């Protein structure tokens, strides 16, 4: 595995931690535990979150970079 690849994967791990916890600490609309609660209540699924992340990532990248 290339060093750059690992750095990208580590960055994703950091962003997930931010998404689930660190950014929630000061968020008045979506506090700590709110995402887990929404998942538990079926308000959203992990697949929906992942799908939306993928769509936003693809939108942010020039098509030739990620297109098969």
Question: Residue 26 has what pLDDT?
Answer: 86
Predicted confidence (pLDDT) per residue in 22-67, tens digit = 889 888 999 999 999 999 999 999 999 999 999 999 888 887 776 6
pLDDT digits (tens, 9 = 90+) for 5-26: 999 999 999 999 999 898 898 8
Residue 68 pLDDT > 80: no
- In this prediction the pTM is 0.81
- Residue 15 has a pLDDT of 95
61 within 8 A of 53, measured Cβ to Cβ: no
Least Cα distance to 57 among 66, 46, 48 occurs for 66
């Amino acid at each position: 595995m290339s060093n750059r690849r690992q750095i990208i994967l580590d960055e994703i791990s950091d962003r997930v931690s931010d998404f689930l916890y660190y950014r929630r600490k000061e968020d008045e609309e979506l506090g700590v535990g709110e995402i887990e609660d929404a998942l538990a209540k079926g308000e959203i699924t992990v697949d929906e979150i992942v799908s939306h992340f993928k769509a936003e990532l693809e939108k942010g990248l020039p098509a030739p970079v990620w297109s098969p």
